[in-house]
Amino acid sequence: MEYNFEELLVVKENDGESTIFHFSGVINEEFLQQQIEIPISPNIVLDLDKVKLINSCGIREWIRFIQRMDQQEKIIYRQIPKVFINQMNIVKGFVTKNSLVESFYAPYFDEDNDLEMDKLIFTDQVVDSQAPVFMNEQGNELEFDAFESTYFKFLKEIGS
């Protein structure tokens, strides 16, 4: 099932145990989250890989959306983009206690090739708030392009 908003598409599918919501586009004031039916299934998976942007009005709508899932056993986040991570770290209520993060993107910088990139990280790769190490083509370490102390803060707030 699809939900079409101005700049956002939400596709809902069911894989038996979980209901998966795939988000792609921009989450803003046009995200009429109340139109999305929250199923009764125990687990909800939020696939955020194709989310480009979330603005302050989008944050407001997102929090209202998440608050409607407080009865779910687990809300599982997948492929969280960097723009989302920033909000998860700063905005109280952006993620709930029943949230679980599977994977997310982290920013890295390749100094040798002057390239910025986002790498997909699985939660268990982060140990003691240390970013996992990646190498470039030349065999040199990529620089983690954020503050580790703040970027992985959300992992302390929620399950992983």
d(CA 127, CA 121): 12
Kindly tell me which residue out of 36, 153, 155, 159 binds other proteins, with binding defined by CB under 8 A. 153
DSSP state of 125: G
Question: Does the protein bind other proteins through residue 133 (CB under 8 A)?
Answer: no
Instruction: Please give the residues from 77 up to 96 whose contact with other proteins meets the rule CB under 8 A.
Output: 82-83, 86, 90-93
Kindly tell me which residue out of 30, 49, 60, 96 binds other proteins, with binding defined by CB under 8 A. 60
Q: Which is nearer to other proteins, 16 or 156 (CB)?
A: 156
Alpha carbon 60 to chain centroid distance? 16
DSSP assignment of 91-103:
STTSS-TTEEE-E
Binding site for other proteins (CB under 8 A): 29, 55-57, 59-60, 63, 82-83, 86, 90-93, 107, 116, 145-150, 153, 157
